[in-house]
Amino acid sequence: MTTEDRLAALEKRLQAAEDHLEIINLLSAYGPLADSCCVKEATELWAEGGGYNYGLVGGGTRRLEAPEPLGGLWRQEGHIALTKTGSAHMTVTPKVTVNGDEAQAVGYSVVILREGERWIVWRAAVNHWTLTRTPQGWRVQEKFNRTLDGSDESHEVMKRIMTT
pLDDT computed for residue 58 by the predictor: 87
Angle at 35 between CA 30 and CA 40, to 5 degrees: 65
pLDDT computed for residue 59 by the predictor: 87
Find all residues with CB under 8 Å of 39, minimum gap 6, and list them: 71, 74, 75
pLDDT computed for residue 92 by the predictor: 97
Over 14-29, what HEC string results? HHHHHHHHHHHHHHHH
pTM of the model: 0.94
pLDDT digits (tens, 9 = 90+) for 61-113: 999 999 999 999 999 999 999 999 999 999 999 999 999 999 999 999 999 99
pLDDT digits (tens, 9 = 90+) for 104-154: 999 999 999 999 999 999 999 999 999 999 999 999 999 999 999 999 999
Specify which residues 102 forms β-bridges with. 99, 132
pLDDT computed for residue 2 by the predictor: 97
pLDDT computed for residue 68 by the predictor: 97
pLDDT computed for residue 57 by the predictor: 86
pLDDT computed for residue 106 by the predictor: 98
Exposure string of 12-32, with b = 16+ CB inside 10 Å and e = fewer, is eeeeeeebbebbbebbebbbe
Domains annotated on the chain, with CATH? 3-162 (3.10.450.50)
32 preceded by a cis bond (ω within 30 of 0): no
pLDDT computed for residue 164 by the predictor: 84
pLDDT digits (tens, 9 = 90+) for 5-58: 999 999 999 999 999 999 999 999 999 999 999 999 999 999 999 999 999 988
